[in-house]
């Protein structure tokens, strides 16, 4: 059975180890994960394969982590539909403003594009006189949508947005 652990806590050494310990204790196998530090918090998710009869054991281990100030939840991954489409990677850079992530996600959703992975951040753009928004994404594009359609939809958000496709 596959489950997803979602974790958040104050960043400190040993958090990944505590997750790995709990997974091994429940005879699980760590399949894939994503972790980052956001606002001083350690935030992540782990896809785990484990025997059906060990879910309760994993949840007990998670409760012990919760007591130590590291909040972890367990969700079943069963029944999750896998999005279909052609993979496309891109980087987008533009002047930062409130609502830019909503505008980008709305443009993609309007084309039926599914976001597989999205990383965003801001940085000072001295040459541009303000804060820059930067996003790196991997998406799945439906067969009837061209990559140029995706570029056009993103660049239409603002004349200040530049989109570079990755090979």
User: For the domain that residue 30 is a member of, what is the CATH number?
Assistant: 3.30.70.260
pLDDT in tens, 2-44: 999 999 999 888 889 999 999 999 999 999 999 999 998 999 9
CA distances from 27 to 1, 54, 61, 92, 102 (A): 12, 7, 12, 41, 40
In a domain, 81, yes or no: no
Which domain, by its residues, includes 53? 2-76
The model's pTM: 0.78
Contact between 113 and 145 (Cβ < 8 Å):
yes
In a domain, 33, yes or no: yes
Torsion angle defined by CA atoms of residues 10, 11, 17 and 22, in that order, rounded to the nearest 10 degrees: 20
Number of separate domains in the chain: 2
Secondary element (H or E) of residue 78: none
In a domain, 121, yes or no: yes
Looking at the predicted structure, is the pLDDT value of residue 158 above 90?
A: no
Same domain, 94 and 137: yes
> Which of 55, 76, 97 represents a domain boundary (last residue)?
76
Q: What is the mean pLDDT of residues 58-86?
A: 85
């Amino acid at each position: 059975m596959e489950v997803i652990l979602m974790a958040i806590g104050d960043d400190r050494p040993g958090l990944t180890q505590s997750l790995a310990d709990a997974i091994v204790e429940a005879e699980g196998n760590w399949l894939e994960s994503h972790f980052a530090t956001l606002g001083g918090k350690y935030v992540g998710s782990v896809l785990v394969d484990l025997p059906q009869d060990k879910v309760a054991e994993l949840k007990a281990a998670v409760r012990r982590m919760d007591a130590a100030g590291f909040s972890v939840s367990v969700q079943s991954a069963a029944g999750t539909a896998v999005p279909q489409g052609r993979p496309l990677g891109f980087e987008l850079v533009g002047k930062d403003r409130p609502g830019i992530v909503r505008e980008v996600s709305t443009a993609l959703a309007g084309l039926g594009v599914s976001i597989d992975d999205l990383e965003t951040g801001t940085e000072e753009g001295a040459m541009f006189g303000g804060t820059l928004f930067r996003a790196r994404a991997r998406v799945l594009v439906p067969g009837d949508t061209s990559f140029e359609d995706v570029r056009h939809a993103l660049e239409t958000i603002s004349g200040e947005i530049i989109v570079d496709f990755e090979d």
